[in-house]
Structure 1
Amino acid sequence: MTSTISQCTIHQLPKIEDHRGNISVIEKDILPYAIKRVYYLYDVPSGAKRGGHAHIDQSELLVAVSGSFDVIVNDGQNKKTVTLNKPDQGLLIPKGIWRELENFSSGSVCLVLASDVYLESDYIRDFENFKAHKLNSSLL
C-alpha cells in the first residue's frame, strides 16, 4: 500500500496545564511506532528550506516546539501545506511522502521523532525518483 497525503495527520499531544507553564508528553501509544531517533532543526536562516526528501520505510512526527513553519507534504499526485505552530500538536508523516519545510519564524525549533535510525539508503532525495518509486510501489 502506498501512502497518501490524507494519512498525514495532526496528532494532538497530551497537554498538562499549570500556572507555572505547560507540559506535553510523548510516551506509550501516542505514536503508531517506537521512537528510534530524535533530532531537531533550529537556527534556520530566513528564507531557507529544509526537507526536500521522502523516506522509503521511515515515519516521522514533526512538532513546532517553538515558533512556526510550514510543512508541504506531497504523495506524488496531491500536495497540501500544514502550518505547525503549537507545541502540543505534531504532524505525522508516514513513509512514502515527500516533505519540504519552509517559512520558519525567527527562533523556531522543529522536533522530529522518527521510527528508525538514520539510514541514507532510506532517503529519496530527487523528486522525479520519488514519483517513479511511488509508481513502482503502486504496481506491487
Structure 2
Amino acid sequence: MPLSDCRLIDLPKISDARGNLTFVEGNNHIPFEVKRVYYLYDVPGGADRGEHAHKDLHQFVISMSGSFDLLLDDGFDKKRFQLNRPYYGVYVCPMMWRYLDNFSSGSVCMVLASGPYDETDYIRDRDEFLKAVGAA
C-alpha cells in the first residue's frame, strides 16, 4: 500500500462542561475491525519506539495524553505526523516502516490493531523491508 493510504482521521468529539468524550468504532471510523489494543507510556525523554514494519497488520495510533511524532515510510516517501490530541489519530496500513519519537513527558500512545500479536508479522530489519517493497 502506498504512503497516501495512511492518513489522519478525525474522531467524534462530544463536548460537555463536565469533560469531553471521544470514541472509535472499528469498520466505521477506522477501516478495520479492532482485535487488539496496546499502549506505550513512561517513555523516557529522548527515547524512540517502533523502527519496524508489519506485513499484514493495520493499526490506528492515537495520543491519549501528551504528544509524540509518528514518522511513516513506505520505502519511497516519508511523512511525519505530530500527534497531540485524543480526538484524532493516524491510520497505518501494512508494509509501512514506522518510527515514533519526540515523546513529551507523561505522554501515552494508544494503538488499535487489526490482529493479535504475531512475531512473524514483523519486519525488524530496514534492509529486509526495503527489499520487500522493491526500494532496495
TM-score tier, shorter chain, comes to over 0.9
Q: In percent, how many aligned pairs have the same letter? A: 49
Q: State the SS of the aligned residue for 2:127.
A: helix
Measure the CA separation in 1 of the matches of 2:129 and 2:40: 23
**What are the equivalent positions in structure 2 for 1:12-31 lying under 5 Å apart?**
12-27=10-25, 29-31=28-30
Alpha-carbon shift at residue 32 of structure 1 (Å): 1.0
Q: Counterparts of 1:16 and 1:48 in 2: how far apart (Å)?
A: 33
- Aligned-pair distance for 1:23? 0.4
Q: Does 1:45 align with 2:44?
A: yes
Give the alignment partner of residue 4 of structure 1, picking from 2, 5, 8: 2
Larger deviation, residues 62-71 vs 25-34: 25-34
TM-score by length of 2: 0.96
Give runs of aligned pairs for residues 114-133 of structure 1, distance below 5 A.
114-133=113-132
Q: 1:27 Cα shift?
A: 1.7
2:68 paired residue number:
69
Secondary structure of 1:135's counterpart equals coil
Aligned ranges for residues 70-109 of structure 1 at < 5 Å?
Answer: 70-109=69-108
Q: Cα RMSD over matched residues?
A: 1.1
Distance in structure 2 (CA, Å) of the matches to 1:118 and 1:34: 15
Which residue identity lines up with residue 44 of structure 1 in the other structure? V
CA distance in 2, matches of 1:17, 1:7: 30
- 1:6-48, Cα deviation, whole Å (9 max, x unpaired): 1110010111100010000112511111100000000000000
**Separation of aligned partners in 2, 1:78 and 1:131:** 12
User: What is the DSSP-based 3-state SS (H/G/I as helix, E as strand, rest coil) of the residue aligned with 1:62?
Assistant: strand
Counterparts of 2:79 and 2:10 in 1: how far apart (Å)? 19
Question: What is the CA-CA distance between 1:134 and the residue it aligns to?
Answer: 0.8
Runs of 4+ in 1 over 2 A off after TM superposition: none
Unaligned runs of 5+ in 1: none
Distance 2:19 2:12 in 1: 14
Whole-Å Cα distance in 2 between the matches of residues 14 and 85 of structure 1?
16
